[in-house]
Each structure stands twice: as C-alpha cells, then as structure tokens.
Structure 1
C-alpha cells in the first residue's frame, strides 16, 4: 500500500476515466469520444494509409443529361471531385450505376461523352453500365448509341479494364486497394443468361478476388429503407450471386428511395445489397456522389453521400445548403466486415512458414523460449495437457530452461499445448493457460535455481518480448493477472520506495481494464517506474515489447509505441536471484491466480532493440 493507503491498482482505476464500457459478453462498447473518432470517414482518410482506399459511386444522372432541358454541370463536378481528391482520399476507382441519359439518344450520348471525357477519362479508372433510360431489352440488343459511346473501345487503355462480354454491355475491372486486388463486375440493366454465363466465367478465372457487383436494377426499398430483391435482382441472386462467395457487395440504382439489406449466400456468408439513386432529390440529385471507404485494418466500410457541385457553392440557397450532404441511415453508414475471415473461403490468408530459432538469436539474446517441437519437444496435439515438470528449452544456449508447474494442485487442463499463434510469430505454437481467481488456480513455467537469468540485472539495457492472446469471450474476473515476471519481493532487494515491498521486482500484467501494466524496481532508484498501455482487445493475438536503453523504458504494442511510458529514470532490474516465470506474477512471494489465455514465443535480449529488430516479421 502507498503511504495514503491507496494501492497501485486503486490508483489506476481512479485515474482511468472509464475508457470503455465492457458488456457482459466481454465486448467493448466505445465511449462517445471514441465513437466520434471512429466515425471519421473517407474524406479524412489519407492516401498514405495502405490499409485504406475508397471506391466512389455515381448513380443515375439521367435528369442532368436530357436534351429536352437539363444541366450536366453537377455530374461533371462529381467526376472532377473524384479526380481532384484521388490522392488525398486514396480513391482507387469510380463505378457508375446506369441511366447516364434520359432518352439514350445520339445527342444525349454526345453530352455524356463530353462529361466523362473532360471530367475523368485518363485520370481515374472507372466503369459504366447501361440503364433502362439508355437502352431497351436485355444485353443481346445489338448496336445502340450507348454501346458506340461507352463500349469496350472506350476502356481499352484503362489500367483496370479486364474485358467485356461479346455483346459489349457487360465488363469487368480489377482494382488495387488496401494491399490486395478486387474485382468489379459492371453488368447491364437486364443481364441475359448469356451475360450471366460470361460473368461466371470471369469469376472462374479470378477465383481468389473479392468481388463488387454493380448493375442498374437489383433491389428496391420501402420508405424505411428496408430493401428487397427486385425481379431482375432475384435473377442475378439465383443465377450468379448466391453461389459465388466472392461477391460480398452488390449495388444498383433505378429505384428510389435508397435502401439496403443483407442476404446470406450459399456459403453462409453475408452479401450486402444497396440502392444508390437520388434523381428524385433537388436538381435531379445534384450529381450526388457516394463514397465507400474501405478500412481493412478496422474491418469496416464507411459510406458517405454528398454533392461536390453543391459543396463548391460559395453562397448556397437554403435548399442547396440542406441538400449538400445526406446523413440518413441509408445515406451515411458503416458496414462491419472482418475481411480476412469473410474472404477465407475463397482466398485463405497466407500463413508464413515458421522461422527457425537461429533467426531469433540476435546479438545479446539472453533467453529465447518457444513452444513448438524446436523448443518444447514433441507434442501430442492441440489441447494436450502439459505435464508437471515438462521442460521448455532456452534456445539461446544460456541454460535458462523453463519447467512447467501447476499451481494450487490445479487440474491437468490448466495448462495445455496449442497450435494457435500470432500470424507473425516465429513458432506456430503456444501454451494455453486457464488461470482464475476465487479460488486461485493457474500454472507457470519458471527457471530452475541457478539459471543465469535469475540474477541478470541488465543495467546496460534490455528488451523483453512476448506474444499473447486474451480469450473471446473473456469470461470471469482476471484483473491483475501476470503474463511474465521475476519471482521474489521488492523488499528483498531493499526497495521500499514503491507501492509495496511485497511487489514482484519486475512484472508484465493485465489490469482490470485489460490495460497492460509493466512495473519494474530498477537498480538505479528506490521507485517503481510503471508503464500503462491502452485496453488490449480480446480474441486477437498481441505482440508486446518492453525496451529499456539503460535510462528509460518504452513499451511497444504490435510494433507501436504506447503513450503512458514511465517518465522516471530506470536502469536495470533489481533481481534477487529467484526464477523468471511465464504465466503469473507473485505478490508477497506467492503466486495467486495464473494467466488466462495463450502465450507464445518469448525472448529477452540484454540490450535495447529497435522495432525493426522485434520478433514481428519485417
């Protein structure tokens, strides 16, 4: 306890102003401030973030290209905005959804040609497709002014264009974004069986590409925005979409009001279907543009709808001002997609090969443990209990082998072997700890008496790294459980200036808020410099690195430096000759609860490593 009678744990609980609300399921509900930050959408996303990119969508513009009287400037403004903002918002592609013109005449197609030629051609890849106001009948209709204007010849030099159906009315594009390739199918407003056969052939030739299907007529919606398949939409769903897991997003125009729905395909996965059409709005839709901002890191697509033409108005009228941006539930929303999981059925993520122990033995390696055959010996399989006394070899060759011990006479399944691992971990294996409190249970692996790491003080600096995963759901009270530590009491090292002489001399723990706490009693001071991370997510592997340069400590989570690093000077670790342990932290020289979750490769190096030297793959 501190002189005021307040423990370190109480101080943290009081200092953290409720960063999140934890539901009974263990999931975290963001606070209003976090939600506001999350709501930043594509117009705030810079091109430098490789996990983010944007696809722009231009729906029906027929009322703006009508030879009987119209104004094509709003449509031109939208195309020019997409080109102008391409780099700032990482816009990879623009998809138009049909009904380019009101009557599909030669004269109107000449206007449409000029709009696209002056607004976007050669400056941003795009696709178009025919709507019912551009053509009649299905895609076997033959020659039309639309086909002569927006047929295959127009896109021959486009970097994304992959080809068209023999009739010329259906096309496909391959688009680069977020570090992967995407397929865009631009299908006619009435796709024949021959057209569906062609589209199936495109999918068959690109079996690993996630696919966005665009067409003019696919779903209609009621006034609440709830969408259902149209007759032509049912034709596409049954004939193409439901049986091809690659298609995860489909969009069309034609109908109003706007709406959306989610259907389940034959593989059991979600397919999102949207209507985008604003021709019923002021000024024929005012060239409304919709942006789909893909964020692969956050697992979501953020959607916005606005009129670049109205945005440019310096003195808008009241009607223009209220129309410039649409924020209803069908106009501005987010789609949660765990991209890797959603696409795993047709594009399983690459799993790097295990890296040999020799690659991890950088200069100054004091100890390195892993739980595959190389470090733990032959294992019987996933979920196999680890026997008491089982040994994990120190692959550095320095003699810091770990020995498994079940605490408090716990059952065999309190420590089991697992094939689970961080995708970037050197070894494809880990240990699953099933620790708990009330009553205490757990397991640790600790060094034997006389191991060099027991007395190492690291006064010139050190790096401690490990991979771990918190279970999802995160059930029970596991506050202040230890990930790794040195055994013994700070008081044994003569350290009385911290919160308690019963503290472990050095430990990495998980707090009640799922923050990481790294606390050390250094050789250079009587104090206990402590670092705190953000809340660690459940169900996901995390890499943590504690780096000390002989003066101060910096903690990195998944290769990123945290903010709440201790400001105090910190040199060395006041070890007292007792074992180093993985899976728990002592208090008063005794283990209580053990760790709850997985722990993988763990390494200690007797110098400060740079992030590029961490065990994470480069």
Structure 2
C-alpha cells in the first residue's frame, strides 16, 4: 500500500482449536505479517509485535501527526506492554487504537460470548474491560478506539484517568445480507446470508475549526451510496440490529458528528510546522 494502513485479526483468520476457540496466528502472519509486501520497509510502519499480529503506524493529516496502534484479537498482556512502549516512543501524538472484539451494539464493553478468548484462556487473553483498564484509560494521548466483530454499531465516550475523553466506536456490517436476499439466497434461523452488502464506515476528520470534528458516515460500495441516501436502509437492517429505534434514530447511528472539544489544547505539540 502507498498509504499508511493496518490489518487486524478476525477470529476467522486464526487457526482454530475445537469449534470457536482461536488457537494460532499462522494464517494471519502469512498474509499480513510484518515482513509481507504490505508492510515490509514501509517508513510509516513503525513497529510490530508477535510477527505483526500487533502493529503501529504513524501518519500525517489535518496538520497533525497521528499514531495508530492495531491490537490483536483479545490482546494479551504482552501486546498491551508492547503498545505502551510504542506510545512512550512517540509521546504526545494523538493516538487511535484499533482492535476487533471490544464492544457490543449497546455500547457495553463485553466480549462476544461465542468467541471469548479470555474465558478459554484467562492467562493469555484480556477482556474488553481489561484492555480499557490496563491500556486505553492509562495513556492520555489515546483519544479513540475503533472496533468491529459484534454486529451493528455503537459509540460511547468515557474519561481516562487524566479526565480527558476517549471516543470508542463500533462498526460491523458483516451480517447484512440484502443483496443475498435479492438474489434468492435463504439464510438460517431468521438471519440473512451474511455478505455485508458492501457497507463500510467512513470517518472524515475536519481539523480546521476552533473545535475539530469527525464526520461519521456509512457507505456501500455495492449500492454506491451513503446510508442517508438509501430510503430502504431502516427497512433492510433495523430489525436485526437496533429494533427498538425509530427509523430516524437508526439513520443517526450511522451518520453523526463527534466534536473533539479539547483536541487542539490536548495535542498542541503534535501539530506539524508549516
């Protein structure tokens, strides 16, 4: 890739032991490891751990330098310790952390009960709450957490131990299957064939104003339109993802704005010189 990027582990990328117990990283490392063509010798790929299961990137945007840290599924203590060292190496940079299973679509920090690494291996995996307690809340330059895995969307904001905001965002559309329905495919137990329908989360950072904002939108590469431009959006997906919401409220969970009220003051030292 010519642009800074990262690949994070999904349980389907893991070698499995039994039914739903992730048990190895060989598949992931072979394709997305630190020495693969995606990342080898890229100047923005600044650190890796566990063969690339955890990785870090530095990039510039909107007049700031940012640090991104990608953590493996149910990150163990060794991953969290590595991440802390990377943060110490790049002090003061606004930091975004991405991981896989962290939050459900009610905004609760709970693991997916079907694939709970900590339950299967308490000494080798951390729960989402443990990741918050041990890492995210302990480093003031972490201002955002991105996650997937649990189907749907959610956003929560909590203060870290320094009293500053950490924005935690879930977006996962892999179970959507309107395109499969339209093609005549039948799902199981009331669920459609999970094909995703091309939906992805877009986050546009506007750093120009007195208060920087993140404009959050949702776009389908299949339908070639945003969720807000799709009249059938709630009819297609609301019942499965957020059945208690009105149609209007369901649209709002996939199109909203995050105001970074303290960003300029908090990260003044990370601004690039003209």
Shift in Å at residue 147 of structure 1?
Answer: 1.2
The residue matched to 2:223 in structure 1 has which SS?
helix
Shift in Å at residue 291 of structure 1?
Answer: 1.2
Would the aligned equivalents of 1:305 and 1:332 in 2 still touch at CA under 8 Å?
yes
Aligned to 1:146: 28
Shift in Å at residue 266 of structure 1?
Answer: 0.4
The residue matched to 1:198 in structure 2 has which SS?
helix
Would the aligned equivalents of 2:25 and 2:53 in 1 still touch at CA under 8 Å?
no
Q: TM-score scaled by structure 2?
A: 0.71
Q: TM-score scaled by structure 1?
A: 0.33
Shift in Å at residue 329 of structure 1?
Answer: 2.2
Aligned to 1:334: 257
Aligned to 2:110: 230
Aligned to 2:4: 125
Q: Does 1:203 align with 2:127?
A: no
Q: Does 1:156 align with 2:80?
A: no
1:234-261: CA deviation from partner (whole Å, max 9, x where unpaired): 1110110001011101010111221111
Would the aligned equivalents of 2:47 and 2:56 in 1 still touch at CA under 8 Å?
yes
Would the aligned equivalents of 2:176 and 2:196 in 1 still touch at CA under 8 Å?
yes
Aligned to 2:245: none
The residue matched to 2:12 in structure 1 has which SS?
coil
Shift in Å at residue 143 of structure 1?
Answer: 4.8
Which has the higher relative contact order, 1 or 2, with Cα contacts under 8 A spaced 6 or more apart? 2
1:474-493: CA deviation from partner (whole Å, max 9, x where unpaired): xxxxxxxxxxxxxxxxxxxx
After superposing the two structures, state which structure 1 stretch, 267-276 or 149-158, moved more.
149-158
Would the aligned equivalents of 1:125 and 1:159 in 2 still touch at CA under 8 Å?
no
The residue matched to 2:97 in structure 1 has which SS?
strand
1:445-594 aligned within 5 A: none
Would the aligned equivalents of 1:142 and 1:167 in 2 still touch at CA under 8 Å?
no
1:309 to 210, 218, 222: 222
Aligned to 1:21: none
1:53-68 aligned within 5 A: none
Shift in Å at residue 332 of structure 1?
Answer: 0.7
Structure ID, larger Rg = 1
May I ask how many residue pairs the two structures share in their alignment?
A: 218
The residue matched to 1:152 in structure 2 has which SS?
coil
Uncovered stretches (5+) of structure 1, i.e. residues with no partner: 1-121, 353-617
- The whole-number CA distance in structure 1 between the counterparts of 2:23 and 2:35 is 18
Q: Does 1:245 align with 2:158?
A: no
- The whole-number CA distance in structure 2 between the counterparts of 1:156 and 1:329 is 40
Point out the structure with the larger helix share: 2
1:259 to 149, 154, 179: 154
* CA 1:320–1:228: 2 relative to 1, 3 Å: closer
1:26-82: CA deviation from partner (whole Å, max 9, x where unpaired): xxxxxxxxxxxxxxxxxxxxxxxxxxxxxxxxxxxxxxxxxxxxxxxxxxxxxxxxx
The residue matched to 2:68 in structure 1 has which SS?
strand
1:291 to 178, 186, 202: 202
Shift in Å at residue 318 of structure 1?
Answer: 8.9
Shift in Å at residue 159 of structure 1?
Answer: 4.2
1:260-275 aligned within 5 A: 260-275=155-170
Aligned to 1:219: 103
* CA 1:157–1:287: 2 relative to 1, 3 Å: farther
The residue matched to 1:297 in structure 2 has which SS?
coil
- The whole-number CA distance in structure 1 between the counterparts of 2:231 and 2:162 is 49
* CA 1:323–1:128: 2 relative to 1, 3 Å: farther
* CA 1:318–1:209: 2 relative to 1, 3 Å: closer
- The whole-number CA distance in structure 1 between the counterparts of 2:234 and 2:132 is 39
CA RMSD after TM alignment: 3.0
* CA 1:320–1:258: 2 relative to 1, 3 Å: closer
- The whole-number CA distance in structure 1 between the counterparts of 2:41 and 2:233 is 38
The residue matched to 1:153 in structure 2 has which SS?
coil
Would the aligned equivalents of 1:257 and 1:277 in 2 still touch at CA under 8 Å?
yes
Uncovered stretches (5+) of structure 2, i.e. residues with no partner: 112-126, 180-194, 238-247
- The whole-number CA distance in structure 2 between the counterparts of 1:143 and 1:260 is 29
